[in-house]
């Protein structure tokens, strides 16, 4: 039995599937004359297989996400059919007597540096396509092909050193029963996405990849962060009944669906959902979300290879969101790429610290046309419902001014094209960088609302990488510095009479709820599955009482003390348990 961080609840049993090891080194090998034919045959086979995979991937994406999405694979297939390219590889093998992997690498390197020289972002993006196709051929050349994101071919539980959000977004969810990784933290985007997709996951196990073999039977409990390798029958039965109890509990909690989230002393809290993918809109509504507090729209950009969605594609998605949610609001975050989401952005050189680098609004200012396309789509969709814009990673006032200027530019364009939009669309900021938290009083004068992104605020305030398992013990939402910071942000919003929401993972945490109510938050946005439990707790708490408790909590000096205090209060308030 191994223990890690249960990052996405649920119990799964299945065969272990070993995910590819990132960055496998492919060595140079000189081949004998009589090996040339065999090497060339290996190349032909790998190309043929890659083509078949791409065609089936194209069909699958076309069915799931539409023809426009699927078109990106055409460029990849064309590359595999390009005789000039393939001949360049063949010739290297023949003339230099080298193994095909190395010949492939040489041609790839030449192409990538060629694309990088262009000053044109479109051409630079094509370098990413080359990389994608090349990796596919390399993996199909392998004598013992390992799994990769696109070719999950059987049902099971994935074991990997790490899984990126884009890899998870591409996997066949019908085959993926769950996953387990060495790396990762609770608020890593992979964890967030797993919860949204309801895929049980345990992460941060350090060395699970060396403890599990392909084909081992695995049992994972994402609620408790437990992984059992080759469990016996008794354990399997025990966990199956746990799974049933867990499902019954979920049904029980959903009975609050029709009831409002109102405290004993009458304060109404808007409970909203954070979503990443359009498929989740229905789940948000089924769990009685009163709006979308955060739509992480960058997941639209995490495709098999980085290719930009068109304005029309983005517009159609946002319109669907606006129409389905109406009259409730849907808060759309402008692109937050970078950090642990797509840190190999096209046209952006490698960064040593992607979380401190060209992420989110910073990337949007650099790639203004990408930003403008998104804003155009967003404004156009605002004519169909109640949309709000939220800007991520704002560190100071100038960034708000700059974003507003670009928004005005887009509004004028639309206006001159006689396209309808909501000219008074609310614009808010995510308070998730310490500098923004410290000037919340100044920022409050500039925007229509705040939403506190504690996932990042904790990471940056405590200087602890949210996805690094080695320092996850320091990632403490109840740290007095976080609570003080939240208090200042909420007080600043109240002083300037703008609504304040919280959309980090903390919003779905029952113990933290006491603090959030006591501080005066108006709106909480969380994973849709957490809404019923949080609503039940809100209905049995009074704001007045939580305010008193917060006064006591402000005097405590460590996260541990705060946690003990909250758990003790909760167990007194809910002697039968609250989960």
Site for ligand PEP in 492-521 (CB under 6 A): 503-504
202 binds ligand PEP (CB under 6 A): no
- Work out how close the CB of 507 gets to ligand PEP at its nearest, in angstroms, rounded to a whole number: 9
Active site residues: 189, 503
Report, in Å, the least distance between residue 109 CB and Mg ion. Answer: 35
Q: Are 170 and 150 in contact (CB under 8 A)?
A: yes
Nearest residue to ligand PEP, using CB?
453
Instruction: Write the CB contacts of 283 (distance below 8 Å, at least 6 apart in sequence).
Output: 273, 275, 528, 529
- Closest contact distance (angstroms) between CB of 188 and ligand PEP is 9
Beta bridge partners of 273: 292, 526
* Residues in Cβ contact with 495 at an 8 Å cutoff, skipping those fewer than 6 apart: 441, 444
Interior/surface letters 441-474, b for 16+ CB within 10 angstroms, e for the rest: eebbeebbbbbbbbbbbbbbbbebbbbbbeebee
User: Residue 454 binds which one of ligand PEP, Mg ion, none, with CB within 5 to 8 A depending on kind?
Assistant: ligand PEP
Is the distance from CB of 337 to CB of 358 less than 8 angstroms? no
Count, residues near ligand PEP per rule CB under 6 A: 11
Task: Name the residue whose CB lies closest to Mg ion.
Answer: 456
Site for ligand PEP in 205-264 (CB under 6 A): none
For residues 214 and 150, what is the distance between their CA atoms, to the nearest angstrom?
18
- Tell whether residue 482 is a contact of ligand PEP (CB under 6 A): no
Judged by CB under 6 A, the residue of 256, 283, 454, 472 near ligand PEP is 454
User: How would you write 504-525 as a 3-class SS string?
Assistant: CHHHHCHHHHHHHHHHCCCEEE
Site string for ligand PEP, 118-157 (x = CB under 6 A): ----------------------------------------
Distance of CA 432 to the CA centre of its chain: 16
What is the closest distance, in whole angstroms, from the C-beta atom of residue 454 to ligand PEP in the complex?
5
Q: Interface residues for ligand PEP in 320-339 (CB under 6 A)? A: 336
Q: Single out the residue of 42, 296, 367, 376 in contact with ligand PEP (rule: CB under 6 A).
A: 296
Q: What is the DSSP string of 85-129?
A: HHHHHHHHHHHH-B-HHHHHHHHHHHHHHHHHH-S-HHHHHHHHH
Q: Which is nearer to ligand PEP, 503 or 512 (CB)?
A: 503
For residue 465, state whether it binds ligand PEP (rule: CB under 6 A): no
Residue identified by tokens 């359009």 is: 278
Distance from C-alpha of 167 to C-alpha of 402, rounded to nearest angstrom = 33
Q: Answer with the entry of ligand PEP, Mg ion, none that 476 interacts with (C-beta below 5 to 8 A by kind).
A: none
d(CA 450, CA 453): 9
Contact call for residue 410 and ligand PEP (CB under 6 A): no
Closest approach, Cβ 457 to ligand PEP, in A, equals 7
Q: Which of 125, 132, 290, 456 binds ligand PEP (CB under 6 A)?
A: 456
CB 355 within 8 A of CB 337: no
Binding of ligand PEP at residue 292 (CB under 6 A)?
Answer: no
Task: List phi, psi (to 5°) of 388.
Answer: -130, 150
Q: CA angle, corner 563, sides to 559 and 567, nearest 5? A: 175
CA distance 296 to 451: 13
Check binding of 354 to ligand PEP (CB under 6 A): no
Question: Which positions touch Mg ion (CB under 5 A)?
Answer: 432, 453, 456
The option from ligand PEP, Mg ion, none interacting with 129 (CB < 5 to 8 A, set by class) reads none
Could you tell which of Mg ion, ligand PEP, none binds residue 331, using a CB distance below 5 to 8 A set by kind?
Answer: none
- Residues near ligand PEP (CB under 6 A) are 192, 294, 296, 336, 432, 453-456, 503-504
């Amino acid at each position: 039995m191994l223990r890690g961080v249960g990052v996405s609840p649920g119990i799964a049993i299945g065969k272990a599937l070993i995910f590819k090891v990132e960055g496998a080194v492919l060595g140079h090998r000189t081949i004998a004359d009589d090996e040339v034919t065999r090497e060339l045959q290996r190349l032909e086979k790998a190309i043929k297989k890659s083509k078949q995979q791409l065609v089936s991937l194209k069909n699958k994406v076309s069915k799931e996400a539409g023809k426009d999405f699927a078109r990106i694979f055409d460029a990849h297939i064309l590359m595999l059919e390009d005789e000039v390219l393939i001949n360049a590889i063949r010739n290297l093998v023949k003339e230099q007597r080298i193994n095909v992997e190395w010949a492939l690498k040489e041609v790839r390197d030449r192409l990538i540096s060629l694309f990088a020289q262009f000053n044109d972002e479109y051409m630079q993006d094509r370098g990413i396509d080359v990389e994608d196709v090349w990796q596919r051929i390399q993996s199909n050349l392998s004598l013992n092909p390992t799994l990769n994101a696109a070719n999950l071919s059987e049902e099971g539980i994935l074991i990997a050193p790490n899984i990126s959000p884009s890899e998870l977004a591409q996997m066949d969810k019908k085959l993926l029963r769950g996953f387990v990784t060495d790396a990762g933290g609770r608020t890593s985007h992979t964890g967030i996405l797993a919860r949204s997709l309801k895929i049980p996951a345990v992460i941060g196990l350090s060395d699970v990849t060396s403890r599990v073999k392909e084909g081992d039977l695995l049992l994972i409990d994402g609620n408790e962060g437990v992984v059992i390798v080759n469990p016996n029958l008794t354990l399997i039965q025990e966990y199956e009944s746990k799974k049933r109890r867990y499902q019954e509990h979920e049904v029980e909690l959903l009975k609050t669906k029709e009831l409002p989230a109102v405290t004993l002393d009458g304060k109404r809290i808007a409970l909203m959902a954070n979503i990443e993918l359009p498929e989740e809109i229905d789940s948000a509504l089924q769990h009685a979300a009163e709006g979308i507090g955060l739509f992480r729209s960058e997941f639209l950009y995490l495709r098999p290879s980085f290719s930009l969605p068109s304005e029309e594609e983005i517009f159609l998605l946002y319109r669907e969101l606006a129409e389905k949610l109406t009259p409730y609001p849907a808060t759309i975050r402008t692109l937050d790429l970078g950090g642990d989401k797509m840190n190999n952005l096209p046209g952006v050189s490698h960064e040593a610290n992607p979380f401190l680098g060209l992420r989110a609004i910073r990337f949007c200012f650099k790639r203004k046309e990408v930003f403008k396309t998104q804003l155009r789509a967003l404004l156009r969709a605002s004519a169909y419902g109640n949309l709000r814009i939220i800007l991520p990673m704002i560190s100071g006032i100038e960034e708000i001014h700059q974003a507003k200027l670009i928004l005005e530019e887009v509004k004028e364009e639309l206006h001159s094209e006689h396209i309808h939009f909501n000219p008074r669309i609310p614009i808010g900021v995510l308070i998730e960088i310490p500098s923004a938290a410290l000037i919340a009083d100044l920022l409050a004068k500039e925007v229509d609302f705040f939403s506190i992104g504690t996932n990042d605020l904790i990471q940056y305030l405590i200087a602890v990488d949210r996805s690094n398992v080695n320092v996850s013990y320091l990632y403490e939402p109840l740290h007095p510095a976080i609570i003080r910071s939240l208090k200042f942000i909420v007080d600043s919003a109240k002083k300037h009479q703008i609504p304040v929401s919280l959309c980090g993972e903390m919003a779905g945490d029952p113990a933290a709820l006491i603090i959030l109510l006591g501080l005066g938050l108006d709106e909480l946005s969380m994973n849709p599955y957490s809404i019923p439990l949080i609503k039940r707790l809100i209905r049995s708490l009074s704001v007045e009482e939580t305010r008193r408790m917060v006064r006591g909590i402000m005097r405590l000096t460590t996260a541990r003390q705060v946690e003990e205090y909250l758990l003790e209060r909760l167990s007194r308030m809910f002697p039968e348990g609250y989960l």
